[in-house]
Amino acid sequence: MPPTATGRRAEYAELTAEAIITAARELFTERGYFATTVNQIAERARVAPATVYAVAGGKHGLIATLVERWSTAPIVAERGAPIIASRDAREVLRLTAEVVRDMRLEYGDIMCTARSVAPHDEAVAESLRTATHRYRSSLDAVAGHLHALGALGVDAAVAADVLWFYFGYTGYESLVKENAWPYERATEWLTAQAAHALGISSL
């Protein structure tokens, strides 16, 4: 059956919103959040500036949407299930490193934008706090699983902190972005170092 007028309007609205979100993401990365204007977002998305406010809530609404997409990405649940199902501590750590790597490859630009803006904008800071809580909770679950396996040389709370140290915001950021390591090398090194700190046998 041919699409209804209502269906076409909904499809157009969805495409418009996606174009605005994509334009904002690109510009925030290229120019920085504060240097990007709503007019620039509108121009790149080929809509009127008023549409950016009506559809996406302006810049605040856009960065909140981007942070929400990153922190609730399906990859977390999809890749988290095999981690928690594994009975091999070394595999658990390897899979954790790989999902963090892939999240950074897909959403690293959003992470960097949110973290750079948060100290100067309370609304963005609140979005980042929520995202960070979700992020840390995922790593806390890994620490709890490793503890349940009897694989740790430290307690679960320390393990959670160690996992955050290596697989939180700064591990890949420092090695890949600042030191120009390939992701593969960074993944291997972070995994090995985390294993040593956790008292897990050599990978």
Could you tell me the two tokens for 124?
A: 């963005």
Classified as helix, coil or strand, 201 is coil
pLDDT of 111 strictly over 90: yes
CA distance 23 to 66: 11
Residue 11 — pLDDT band, cuts 50, 70, 90?
confident
Report field, pTM of the whole predicted structure over 0.75: yes
pLDDT of 201 strictly over 90: no
Q: Which residues contact 3 (CB under 8 A, 6 or more apart)?
A: 11
Q: What is the pLDDT of residue 5?
A: 62
Question: What are the C-alpha distances in Å from 122 to residues 4, 25, 62, 105, 117?
Answer: 42, 19, 15, 27, 9
Residue pair 158/186 in contact (Cβ under 8 Å)? The answer is no
Q: What is the pLDDT of residue 7?
A: 73
pLDDT of 114 strictly over 90: yes
Half-sphere exposure of residue 156, counting CA atoms within 13 Å on the CB side? 13
Q: What is the pLDDT of residue 202?
A: 52
**Tokens 């995994």, residue?**
191
DSSP run (H or E) holding 198: helix 183-198
What fold, for 5-56? Arc Repressor Mutant, subunit A (1.10.10)
pLDDT digits (tens, 9 = 90+) for 125-155: 999 999 999 999 999 999 999 999 999 999 9
DSSP state string for 31-97: H-TTT--HHHHHHHHTS-HHHHHHHH-HHHHHHHHHHHHHHT-HHHHHHHHHHHH---HHHHHHHHH
pLDDT digits (tens, 9 = 90+) for 15-60: 999 999 999 999 999 999 999 999 999 999 999 999 999 999 999 9
Q: What is the pLDDT of residue 203?
A: 47
Could you tell me the two tokens for 168?
A: 């939180």
Q: What is the pLDDT of residue 3?
A: 58
Domain residue extents for the chain: 5-56, 69-198
Return the amino acid letter for 172: Y
CA distance 35 to 118: 15
pLDDT of 12 strictly over 50: yes
Cα of 43 vs its chain's centroid, Å = 27
pLDDT digits (tens, 9 = 90+) for 172-185: 999 999 999 999 99
For the chain, percent of residues with pLDDT exceeding 90 = 90
pLDDT digits (tens, 9 = 90+) for 67-92: 999 999 999 889 999 999 999 999 99
